[in-house]
Amino acid sequence: MIASLCLAAVVLAALSGVPGLFFPRTSRAGEQLSVAAMLAFGALALFVALRVLLGGGAVELSLPWSVPGGAFEVRIDALSAVFLAPVGLIPALGAVYGRGYWPERDHPHDARQLRFFYGLLTAGMALVVIAANAVLFLVGWEVMALAGYFLVATEDREAKVREAGVVYLAMTRLGSLVLYAMFGTLLAATGGLLLFARSPATVAMRPVFQSAVVLLSLAGFGVKAGLVPLHAWLPPAHGNAPSHVSALMSGVMLKMGIYGIFRVTSLFAAPPLWWGELVLALGIISGLVGVAFALGQHDLKRLLAYHSVENIGIILMGLGLALIGRATGRPALAVLGFAGALFHVWNHALFKSLLFFSAGSVVHQTGTREMDRLGGIAKRMRLTALAFVIGAVAIAGLPPLNGFASELFVYLASLRSVAHPGGPWLVVAFAAPALAMIGALAVACFAKAYGAVFLGEPRSDDAREPRESSAFLLAPMAVLAALCALFGIAPGLVVPMLARAVDAWAPGLSAAAPLASLVPTTAITLGALALLLILGIAALVLRRRPTAMSAPTWACGYSRPVPRAQYTASSFAQQLVVLLRFIVWPRTHRPAIRGLFPSPTDFHSETPDLVLDRAALPLTRRIARAVGSRRVLQGGSIHAYLGYIFAAVIVLLLLFRVGGVLP
């Protein structure tokens, strides 16, 4: 019953954009119907997820399906439910946001296609997290991946957007290819069971196959999650997609990769130590590289995209600690690490969507994403600015908001193994200073972004006259900001839910080390409330007095300060970027100034992506040039490609007939 309710919600989301295709462009009915359908989907998905998480038990459903090797099996356990919750919440809020951000009135050419693929992407993600069968999982995965392409390429009249779309498509195809290899290995090693859940067959797999599956999943799912160095598609895609799509991709779609990695690591009962060490190392690298590149960005949305890479790193650090805990028989480490990772999945979905929504609100009003062209927005868009600062405090992991709560779990995992040494405690110990460094850099980066975009004086005419956005944009932000505060102040609310999900990942862990006894939730709540109380009193004491005078900013004796003299986002980050140049490799154009009366000059700096701009694109261009006109197979004719597919299917069928692989 519950599972079929969830399936109905998936269908609702998938069809949410369809009616809009048939209404005339002057009618608002299509927009309203799609928002209503997405809200209904969100409510249903959240209901199902919360029911499972609050102790309703896993729900299952199995329907007849004629696909070979496939079975229409749906299973929602606590681990699925943790991911189903943001899949329900964020797209529903995003649909409301999109109603004001991308109305059909202003975008007659692409608003319909946007709504259609938005619903499809949501449905695909929901299917991914509830599928218990590998074929069904892959169906959801491909729907999600392809719908994602059309969403990235919404404004396909711009060359930059098309390029972002192609990069996304190429990388997502590569990722899928690796996933087919992974499922193939599972299929071969378990003797034809296409289950995507722990079973005696997966537990009994030979260690070498287990490791192969985990490595392939890190590569295949890592592309989707944005793991360094597989993150290359993410900054252009998130930068160029409409903001509510960026929010959906960054807040939720990346987590589908994380979900895959979580599922695969739960298939096996005894992970060797090096899995955890590898995942921890990958997490630290992603976290540091992500935040270092974020510091170098000039484009607000690209900056947020790199912070997704950073946060995926933090999630993986939690998973790495948990795997180390499982491998060395330390349930407390495993529970804290995994619960921290899960909690951060939620929190990142909340604050990153909030940040993309408020960034989108700015882009909507000013028409630019260049931080160095903005400034002083907070005076005219107070609520958007407030939403951004809440998101910024949350993502930087600062108390009393939710980012702090989940990072605290990961810190505690690391600190506890240091306090009770034994096993690889020194490896685990270095997670804490790494996280501290990532956190401090994130504080710097968001102080830069918030300061440059919202504070000071406008740096260009774009930022001169913005108006506050409509309620369609503000209401979703309010919901997310409230949730960020709630999870930060009262993390005790989610602890029982996370504990159930930890048990779904590795049965028996919670019994060995109950999560509630490991995290000081009451102390966090009391500390947060004390902080807020003292803040309130201090604000009251230091409120503006009637005797206060107003004057221009003190410019150290210079009597006519101009907005152009302000510190920009680039100058703010310059010192850190230079310190981190061994990661970031910034490129600056700085002509030498000569003579007594130098001519006007210019300065320019950029941080090309290490993987995409410095390796992948040059390499592919070189290959394309080298092959040149000698391309025989890749003619660009769709008929030829259909022919190839047909031939490939025939060959494969023949192979199966001879080899008899499929049951």
Partner 1 sequence: MILDALIHLAFVLALPPLLLGVIGKVKAFFAGRVGPPLVQPYRDLARLFRKSEVVSTTTTWVFRAGPVVMLATALVAAMLVPFGGRPAPLSFSGDLILFAYLFALARFFTVAAAMDTGSAFEGMGAAREATFAALAEPALFLAFLTLVRASGSLSLTGMLGHGLGRAWSSASASLVFVVVSLFVVLLVESSRVPFDDPATHLELTMIHEVMVLDHSGPMLGTIHYAAALKLLVLGALVARLVAPVSTGSLPLDWLVFAGSILAVAIVVGVVESVMARLRLLQIPLLLVGACLLSGFALVLFAR
Where in 514-553 is the site for partner 1 (CB under 8 A)? Answer: 519-520, 523-524, 526-527, 530-531, 534-535, 538-539, 542-545, 547-553
Rounded to a whole number of angstroms, the minimum distance from the CB of residue 317 to partner 1 is: 14
Cβ proximity to partner 1, 322 vs 580, nearer residue: 580
- In our burial notation (b when 16+ CB lie closer than 10 A, e otherwise), range 228-264 reads bbbbbbbbbbbbbbbbbbbbbbbbbbbbbbbbbbbbb
Cβ proximity to partner 1, 549 vs 592, nearer residue: 549
Nearest to 387 by CA among 358, 366, 352, 351: 358
Distance (Å) of CA 232 to CA 159, 578, 599, 622: 18, 22, 39, 18
| Contacts (CB under 8 A) with partner 1, residues 295-334 | none
CA 346 – CA 311 distance, rounded (Å):
11
**104 within 8 A of 31, measured Cβ to Cβ:** yes
**120 within 8 A of 143, measured Cβ to Cβ:** yes
Contact pick of 63, 512, 555, 654 for partner 1 (by CB under 8 A)? 555
Q: Is 187 exposed, middle or buried (0-12, 13-18, 19+ CB in 10 A)?
A: middle
DSSP annotation of 614: I
Distance (Å) of CA 491 to CA 45, 50, 229, 521, 536: 22, 16, 33, 6, 22
Amino acid (1-letter code) at residue 125 = M
CA 98 – CA 661 distance, rounded (Å):
47
Contact pick of 446, 499, 513, 612 for partner 1 (by CB under 8 A)? 446
Rounded to a whole number of angstroms, the minimum distance from the CB of residue 329 to partner 1 is: 19
Contact pick of 55, 207, 433, 507 for partner 1 (by CB under 8 A)? 433
Rounded to a whole number of angstroms, the minimum distance from the CB of residue 535 to partner 1 is: 4
**476 within 8 A of 97, measured Cβ to Cβ:** yes
Cβ proximity to partner 1, 156 vs 277, nearer residue: 277
Q: Does 69 bind partner 1 (CB under 8 A)?
A: no
Rounded to a whole number of angstroms, the minimum distance from the CB of residue 598 to partner 1 is: 21
Cβ proximity to partner 1, 542 vs 592, nearer residue: 542
Taking CB under 8 A as the binding criterion, the range among 86-94, 120-128, 279-287, 426-434 that sits at the site for partner 1 is 426-434
| Contacts (Cβ under 8 Å, ≥6 apart) of 509 | 326, 331, 334, 335, 338, 502, 503
Q: How many residues bind partner 1 (CB under 8 A)?
A: 82
Contact pick of 76, 227, 576, 616 for partner 1 (by CB under 8 A)? 576
Contact pick of 448, 499, 510, 612 for partner 1 (by CB under 8 A)? 448
Cβ proximity to partner 1, 553 vs 599, nearer residue: 553
Cβ proximity to partner 1, 223 vs 435, nearer residue: 435
Taking CB under 8 A as the binding criterion, the range among 132-140, 307-315, 324-332, 416-424 that sits at the site for partner 1 is 416-424
Rounded to a whole number of angstroms, the minimum distance from the CB of residue 359 to partner 1 is: 17
What pairs with residue 195 in β-bridges? 133
| Contacts (CB under 8 A) with partner 1, residues 91-150 | none
Rounded to a whole number of angstroms, the minimum distance from the CB of residue 320 to partner 1 is: 17
Rounded to a whole number of angstroms, the minimum distance from the CB of residue 425 to partner 1 is: 8
CA 225 – CA 228 distance, rounded (Å):
9
Nearest to 362 by CA among 237, 236, 477, 233: 477
Rounded to a whole number of angstroms, the minimum distance from the CB of residue 55 to partner 1 is: 27
Instruction: List the structure tokens of 333.
Output: 């480490």
Cβ proximity to partner 1, 39 vs 532, nearer residue: 532
| Contacts (CB under 8 A) with partner 1, residues 556-575 | 556, 561, 563, 565-567, 571-575
Rounded to a whole number of angstroms, the minimum distance from the CB of residue 276 to partner 1 is: 18
Nearest to 388 by CA among 446, 347, 348: 446
Neighbours of 56 (CB within 10 A): 15
CA 473 – CA 511 distance, rounded (Å):
44
Contact pick of 363, 412, 497, 610 for partner 1 (by CB under 8 A)? 412
3-state secondary structure of 62: strand
Rounded to a whole number of angstroms, the minimum distance from the CB of residue 139 to partner 1 is: 43
Amino acid (1-letter code) at residue 289 = V
Q: Does 475 bind partner 1 (CB under 8 A)?
A: no
Q: Does 554 bind partner 1 (CB under 8 A)?
A: yes
Cβ proximity to partner 1, 197 vs 405, nearer residue: 405
Instruction: List the structure tokens of 523.
Output: 């102390």
Distance of CA 520 to the CA centre of its chain: 27
Q: Give the torsion sign (CA, 573, 579, 585, 590).
A: positive
Rounded to a whole number of angstroms, the minimum distance from the CB of residue 578 to partner 1 is: 9
Query: Taking CB under 8 A as the rule, which mask of x and - marks residues 331-370 in contact with partner 1?
Result: ----------------------------------------
Cβ proximity to partner 1, 120 vs 385, nearer residue: 385
Cβ proximity to partner 1, 433 vs 618, nearer residue: 433
CA 552 – CA 332 distance, rounded (Å):
56
CA 260 – CA 128 distance, rounded (Å):
9
Rounded to a whole number of angstroms, the minimum distance from the CB of residue 457 to partner 1 is: 5
Rounded to a whole number of angstroms, the minimum distance from the CB of residue 596 to partner 1 is: 24
Alpha helices in 297-371 (DSSP H): 300-327, 331-366
Cβ proximity to partner 1, 469 vs 566, nearer residue: 566
Rounded to a whole number of angstroms, the minimum distance from the CB of residue 285 to partner 1 is: 16
Cβ proximity to partner 1, 445 vs 473, nearer residue: 445
Contact pick of 38, 416, 474, 484 for partner 1 (by CB under 8 A)? 416
CA 124 – CA 653 distance, rounded (Å):
28
Query: Taking CB under 8 A as the rule, which mask of x and - marks residues 175-214 in contact with partner 1?
Result: ----------------------------------------
Rounded to a whole number of angstroms, the minimum distance from the CB of residue 595 to partner 1 is: 25
CA 414 – CA 418 distance, rounded (Å):
7
Contact pick of 59, 249, 441, 477 for partner 1 (by CB under 8 A)? 441
CA 92 – CA 587 distance, rounded (Å):
41
**134 within 8 A of 68, measured Cβ to Cβ:** no
Q: Does 439 bind partner 1 (CB under 8 A)?
A: yes
| Contacts (CB under 8 A) with partner 1, residues 387-406 | 389, 392-393, 396-399, 404
Distance of CA 123 to the CA centre of its chain: 17
| Rounded CA Rg of the chain | 25
Cβ proximity to partner 1, 79 vs 314, nearer residue: 314
Cβ proximity to partner 1, 174 vs 437, nearer residue: 437
